[in-house]
Amino acid sequence: MKKEPIYVELPIRADMDALWRHTQTPELHERWDLRFSSITYLPRPNDGSPQRFRYRTRIGFSLDIEGTGETKARTDLPDGGRLSTLRFGSEQTISLIRSGGGYWRYKPAGEGVVFSTRFDYETRFGAAGRLFDKLLFRPLFGFATAWSFDLLRLWLERGISPASLIRQALVHYGCVAALSLLWLYQGLVPKLLFAETGEAELLRTAGLFAGFETEAAYVLGAAEMCAALLIAVLHRRRWLFALHGAALAILCAVALATAPETAAAPFGPVPLTLSMLGLGSLAALTLRDLPDAGRCKRKPEAPALSNTPSNGGTRDDIHLSASIGN
């Protein structure tokens, strides 16, 4: 089963030494990298030895994945850049990753640094493990790496702590999830599944769509379900939340004009509209400086070496196979 190494690249407007410090110091590294809960450097026998480390990742349900690795650094590349190669692995039987290796590259570029990583790993659990890795784990691992890189970028460029950015992201995505579910529920349950229990009657009372009230409720329900999908997919577009607010205002006005008595209902159109407007406002306000994995480049530049089993090389001229433990 063919697999592509994970690659992430992002330009960061920061001093080379600052970027190096934030990525090579365990206490700083673990603050921005979602892949690790803690990183601890182990004592070195001498300055020329690779730096060994122990890592731990919480996966929930009171379970931790622990492993060890070693890293080597080069700070004298011809282009003025730096390179840090690493090997890592875990002996825990619950760890999907058995062993792996890769690198971090720091390439000077104008007023900043192009920071990139490329790594690969071997999995446990045979064909089932390889399939799970290909379909779910590897895409999520790559996304977490890219999202973490942008978190680091915002920390260095904007001076916003990773903890604050993570809290902001949780608020944003929580609001988006709640809005999507509310639109989905309002479109599916009272309009598509049980239109005759109230929605069609409201349209009938309003004198709208005479003779086609049920069909109109279905169309409106489908539109609201589309709104749920749009919010989930386009939640980074500020204009979408303005459109969301306008649609809510129109629907609430129509409901109150049709059935004024619903204004006093505890879970009627007024509290529902105000709640959804509040969620939309919070989602829009938390868009600024929101980490985005989409800012990262996910494929290296072609030419130097082909990524073929015959030479073990990669398109960015570094052999991952030399970094992967046995």
Widest CA span in the chain: 86
Whether pLDDT at 263 is above 70: yes
Lowest-pLDDT range of 221-225, 235-239, 298-302, 307-311:
307-311
The pTM of the full predicted model, rounded to 2 decimals, is 0.85
> What phi, psi does 88 have (nearest 5°)?
-150, 160
pLDDT at residue 194 in the model: 78
The DSSP letter of residue 169 is: H
Chain segment 185-233, per-residue pLDDT in tens: 999 988 888 776 666 666 666 666 677 777 888 888 999 999 999 999 9
Question: What's the pLDDT score for residue 262?
Answer: 75
Angle subtended by helix axes 162-187 and 269-285, to nearest 10: 150
Asked if 103 and 85 count as a contact pair (C-beta separation under 8 A), the reply is: yes
What pLDDT digit, counting tens, does each position of 5-59 carry?
Answer: 999 999 999 999 999 999 999 999 999 999 999 999 999 888 788 999 999 998 8
**pLDDT for the residue 161:** 97
pLDDT tens string 141-150 = 999 999 999 9
pLDDT at 315: 47
- Looking at the predicted structure, is the pLDDT value of residue 317 above 70? no
Place of tokens 């260095």: 156
Dihedral sign from CA coordinates of 25, 28, 34, 36: positive
Residue 307: band (very low, low, confident or very high) from pLDDT cuts 50, 70, 90 = very low
Cα–Cα distance between 67 and 53 in angstroms, integer? Answer: 9
Average pLDDT taken over every residue of the chain = 88
CB 36 within 8 A of CB 29: yes
- Report the distance separating Cα 19 and Cα 71, nearest Å: 17
How far is residue 267's CA from residue 6's CA, in Å, rounded to a whole number?
48
Instruction: Give the 3-state secondary structure of residue 82.
Output: strand
Please state, in angstroms and rounded to a whole number, the distance separating the CA atoms of residues 216 and 208: 9
Give the CA angle between residues 269, 210, 250 to the nearest 5°.
30
pLDDT confidence tier of residue 322, bands split at 50, 70 and 90: very low
Portion of the chain with pLDDT greater than 70, in percent: 87
Residue 268: Cβ within 10 Å count: 16
The yes-or-no verdict on residue 2 having pLDDT over 60 is yes
For the four alpha carbons of 37, 42, 48 and 50, in that order, the dihedral sign comes to: negative
**pLDDT tens per residue, range 161-170:** 999 999 999 9
